[in-house]
């Protein structure tokens, strides 16, 4: 067996959040290239069509869902669509995220909350919905996208972003402990 064959995702269904731009587009396309059907979601629904076309160019099925991961009901909707249209879910890539670069003495509480709501809470709500939807016999995998700013600083004023990414490290560690061997 060739090395890359060990990473094939044939007959798997993957979900990628924040798939309207940046890394999310690349994650979705890479998963399709590895053989997975892909469910993509983002707040900017108008930008999901281009990602969908890239996934489908690899001969894979793709479902695009407008969703705001900071809303638990949107996360549930993404999982419901995935299971109803593709039969099951196997992989979740929690990629959705935003950042700010505002000095801490001037950052508006709503700006700070928005970053935490999308980056941290969205990761949690999607993980929770995913864990409830995974077929116990098939198992599943969650990939949470962190940042070096969760462990160190770049000297930029990014308190909300750095806090959210540090919290994702702790969240990932705890969920892995809770759900290992489920």
Cite the active site residues. Answer: 161
- Rounded CA-CA distance 117/136 in Å is 29
d(CA 106, CA 90): 42
**22 touches 49 (CB < 8 A):** no
Angle at 154 between CA 96 and CA 168, to 5 degrees: 35
Contact (Cβ atoms closer than 8 angstroms) between residue 164 and residue 111: no
């Amino acid at each position: 067996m060739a090395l890359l064959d060990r990473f094939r995702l044939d007959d798997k269904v993957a979900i990628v959040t924040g798939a309207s731009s940046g890394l999310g587009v690349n994650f979705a396309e890479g998963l399709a290239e590895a053989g997975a059907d892909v469910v993509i979601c983002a707040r900017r629904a108008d930008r999901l069509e281009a990602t969908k076309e890239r996934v489908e160019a690899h001969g894979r099925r793709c479902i695009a869902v407008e969703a705001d991961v900071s809303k638990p009901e949107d996360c549930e909707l993404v999982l419901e669509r995935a299971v109803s249209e593709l039969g099951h879910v196997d992989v979740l890539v929690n990629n959705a995220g935003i950042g700010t670069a505002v000095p801490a003495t001037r950052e508006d509480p709503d700006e700070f909350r928005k970053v935490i709501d999308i980056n941290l809470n969205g990761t949690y709500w999607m993980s929770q919905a995913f864990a409830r939807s995974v077929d116990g016999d098939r198992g599943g995998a969650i990939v949470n996208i962190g940042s070096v700013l969760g462990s160190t600083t770049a000297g930029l004023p990014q308190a909300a972003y750095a806090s959210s990414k540090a919290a994702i490290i702790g969240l990932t560690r705890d969920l892995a402990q809770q759900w290992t061997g489920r």
